Amino acid sequence: MNFTSFEFFIFLIIVYVLYLTVNHKLQNLLLLLASYLFYAWWDWRFLGVVLFSTIIDYFCALKIDQHDFRKHRRKYLFLSLSVNLLLLGFFKYFHFFIDNFILLFQKMGVQLQPSTLQIILPIGISFFTFQTMSYTIDVYRKKIKPTKNFIDYALFIAFFPKLIAGPIERANRFLPQIERQRELSVDKLKSGLLLIYWGLFKKLVIADNLGTMISYFSARNSEELTSALVWGTLYGYAIQLYADFSAYTDIARGTARLMGFELSHNFRNPVFSRNIQDFWQRWHISLTSWFTDYVFLPLATIKLKYRAIIPYAAIFFTFLLVGLWHGAGWNFLLWGGYNGAALAGYHFFKRKKNHQIKKKIARALPLGDLVAMAVTLNFVIIGLIFFRSASLARAIHCFSLILSNFSFGASEWDLLFKVAIYSAPLLIAEIFLAKNDNDISQFFRLPKLIRFGILYFMLFLLVVYHDGAHQFIYFQF
């Protein structure tokens, strides 16, 4: 059931009307059943995966809390993490590892038959397994007390607005919202509907149209590519990716807000990032913070002989895992390594004694912030060659074209012009949100004529430029 489908809006209306007519306890049960129906709509066979992970972690958390001895607590934590990582490893990475083992043995002269097992990836598995693991880890660290109410815990995992593609919520933030009585108001209704409306616009008008155009140029043979086409495709894909993923988050947050919930911000104007660290503090925030808390910090505090290099190695290794989280492929590992090396290098440079001097020089330069933002975004966008390319050979060829074969024909100008046109509304909205602390409800403070003019113009574009129903990009992760 896609957020942009007619079925979803019928589903949402029915759930919302029922939600308004029952008390708090029944609201939670209603939302849980609705969430399971929402997930089963994709493929009912994988509902068992969600339930299995939920049940295991619910009981493991209770057992961890019951024991004082670290040995027993670790046993149940190990069980929880093992189950989730095995589920994730089997469904998402089985073919990647098997195919690479077969290739390795073939290099050594041993012929093995490839696996004929066809494994379908359960949608959203990378998101809900990370959420369940964070819960048991936090209980183990005594940061939270486990809930004894199974319905509340199951809803924390399966709440349908965030189930498929996040944000990856933490128990200490989201469980209290489930346990207490939610307050509904006209302001929440208005801002929730606006978030949904803006998300639909970004998805259907910006992301989907750009996606169709980018796919056309990406499908060209390597010999037909020019530097301008590569750059135009990269810029277009970057905008498509941001519009698509942030659209999902906006619709999820808007839907949750209608029912009195507040989901986390997953993006905070990444287009205004001034360095690579700043970018990763603004992009896919719930994932970055998850890896920071549960992977990077434990690694960075390991006491070894060569302590000076530990933080940098921890950054690099963490981002290799971030890349692997996105997909089972060498291209994603290389993309993670690309960003990890850049972030480790940034932190190494930042610790130099002359950093403050360089910072003052940068501030003194004309348009220093704009230059920093341009350099950062172009660096990030170049890395998308790994993210987008279907093969390593294709990625290498695209890299070779970045600074060569500058020729501008009709195709190149047409691509760059359309990318600029589709970027414009997104950039205007980013400027508005950045000035208003990412509070979309500030839109209602604009003059009435401007508000309705914008809303009607968006509706016109939705009707005219709606390019059919496309899946969200992050569903594949």
As averages over each run of 10 residues, the pLDDT of the chain (477 residues) reads 90 96 93 96 90 96 91 93 94 80 70 68 92 96 94 97 93 95 92 95 92 75 73 91 95 96 94 94 96 94 79 94 90 94 90 57 64 92 87 78 72 84 92 91 92 92 80 75
Measured CA angle at 326 (ends 325, 332), to 5 deg: 100
HEC-encoded secondary structure of the chain? CCCCCHHHHHHHHHHHHHHHHCCHHHHHHHHHHHHHHHHHHHHHHHHHHHHHHHHHHHHHHHHHHHCCCHHHHHHHHHHHHHHHHHHHHHHHHHHHHHHHHHHHHHHCCCCCCCCCCCCCCCCCHHHHHHHHHHHHHHHHCCCCCCCCCHHHHHHHHHCHHHHCCCCCCCHHHHHHHHHCCCCCCHHHHHHHHHHHHHHHHHHHHHHHHHHHHHHHHHCCCHHHCCHHHHHHHHHHHHHHHHHHHHHHHHHHHHHHHHCCCCCCCCCCCHHHCCCHHHHHCCCCHHHHHHHHHHHHHHHHCCCCCCHHHHHHHHHHHHHHHHHHHHCCCHHHHHHHHHHHHHHHHHHHHHCCCCHHHHHHHHHHCCCHHHHHHHHHHHHHHHHHHHHHCCCHHHHHHHHHHCCCCCCCCHHHHHHHHHHHHHHHHHHHHHHHHHHCCCCHHHHHHCCHHHHHHHHHHHHHHHHHHCCCCCCCHHHHC
Measured CA angle at 23 (ends 17, 26), to 5 deg: 85
Catalytic residues: 326
